[in-house]
Amino acid sequence: MLKNTKFGNAHSFNKILKHDFTFQKCILQLFSRVCGGAPGVLDATSAMAERAASVDPTSSACMAEVGRQCLLRGKVKEAHR
């Protein structure tokens, strides 16, 4: 999703995301809300939400975000799980 830029490279950004799930949640919410429903972006943000939920399955915020991501992708039945 990210290319090498003056702000760093995708590898560095991914390292930050792996360790800071609050930041990860904010980033995925931002991208998913402004992407205009682009399937590729929603796939990536959904994967990030699933990963955060798998790390902390007791977090209601993570599970709610997984549900929101499913709704954005039009997967209503999956959002209810």
- DSSP for 27-66 reads HHHHHHHHSTT-HHHHHHHHHHHHHHHHH-TT-HHHHHHH
Are 76 and 70 in contact by the 8 Å Cβ rule? The answer is yes
- Which range, 3-7, 43-47, 77-81, has the best average confidence (pLDDT)? 43-47
Residue pLDDT, tens place only, 10-46: 556 556 555 667 777 788 888 888 888 888 888 888 8
